[in-house]
Amino acid sequence: MKTIDELLAEGVAGKRVFVRADLNVPLDGATITDDGRIRAVLPTVKALADAGAKVVVASHLGRPKGAPDPAFSLASAAARLGELLGSAVAFATDTVGESARSTVAGLTDGQVAVIENLRFNAGETSKDDAERGAFADRLAELADLYVGDGFGAVHRKHASVYDLPARLPHAAGFLIATEVGVLKQLTEDVKRPYVVALGGAKVSDKLAVIDQLLGKADRILIGGGMAYTFLKAQGHEVGISLLQEDQLPAVREYIERAEKTGVELVLPVDVLVSTGFPDLTAKAPTNPTTVTAGAIPGDQMGLDIGPESRKLYASKLADAGTVFWNGPMGVFEHPDYAEGTKAVAQALIDSPAFTVVGGGDSAAAVRLLGFDENAFGHISTGGGASLEYLEGKTLPGLAALEG
């Protein structure tokens, strides 16, 4: 895989460089609530601009239906990128239309432009190779070189991720190079004990990675909504907690495999419960109660791991050599149910291990709960991409950059 360092050494002054970034930031109206993904691509954009390139930044945001939708505009992200760069960033109001062409044509050496949300064009996400390729052809007209740096999208076979690199000389940006290097540390020559903490709502989202990790990890800690399917599989009642009954056979099989292979599978011993899901807007107190994990009342919902589980999980992380964490331990967005996620984050900070926060809600939780990002070994920008890499899948965006 060619790197941006090699590209810069060859010289990019005066050339139009298309940077596929991941500016898929959370928005409250037009206000960005977490600019982590913009900051992550900043080193690549700045290096290219400083070297005299005409930088064309492109990204998706949200899931528009293949047509323009003001709710998913990248205008706010473009403005924030300009603030971080300390210079004005031009913004094209379409992807491959007149605005994009004229905006790129008007760039001078060292200037940066952002084009509108790639998913405003149906060709970006089309499953039809010809339709996707036709959109990639039009994107290619905007650039001389391609730099892939949107790690959060490399598991998608989309036009700007998979098809466009085949049409232009290409290289991996700093972010992707870093992400791949970190993931290799989780799959090759891992320092042990290797402990994985998995949370989040649905066990179905994590089945494939659990399947892979049962042969590689020494210890797997389970929290979040997915824990209740595991508890149910062990014969416990889980009240009205989130439960995926269709996944119970697979979970029972994984519990048996863990026992046979000597992988320590750690489940909550107590949980915080309430009569329903909390209001995340008002965040009014809900007065949760703590019960043992095997005795959740029939009218109660588990919403976070309890105090004894927090101590248990911290102890299981304390002696780790390597830790991968993906998914919160509870409804961290509400203060009543944030302590489990806080405890895991703090345990990672306190551990001497090489610690990786696997993107998505875990990365959002680190920032929302006020932790110093630099206290972790690495915070990934791509939760889904990280998981699929660990599952052993070929990621289209990485394969395209290697081609």
SS (H, E, C) 199-238: CCCCHHHCHHHHHHHCCCCCEEEECCCCHHHHHHHCCCEC
Cα–Cα nearest to 182, from 314, 380, 368: 380
Q: What angle do CA 96, 98, 99 make, to 5 degrees?
A: 85
Residue 253, token pair as written in the block: 């099989």
Decide if 252 is catalytic.
no
Decide if 37 is catalytic.
yes
Q: Within 13 Å, how many C-alpha atoms sit on residue 24's CB side?
A: 21
Residue 363, token pair as written in the block: 């990365």
Pick the catalytic residue: 15, 37, 54, 219? 37
Pick the catalytic residue: 46, 202, 311, 393? 202
Decide if 360 is catalytic.
yes
Distance CA 164, CA 17 (A): 12
Pick the catalytic residue: 360, 382, 383, 397? 360
Cα–Cα nearest to 165, from 139, 191, 198: 139
User: Are 400 and 162 spatial neighbours (Cβ–Cβ below 8 Å)?
Assistant: yes
Distance CA 180, CA 126 (A): 26
Q: Which active-site residues does the annotation give?
A: 37, 202, 360, 384
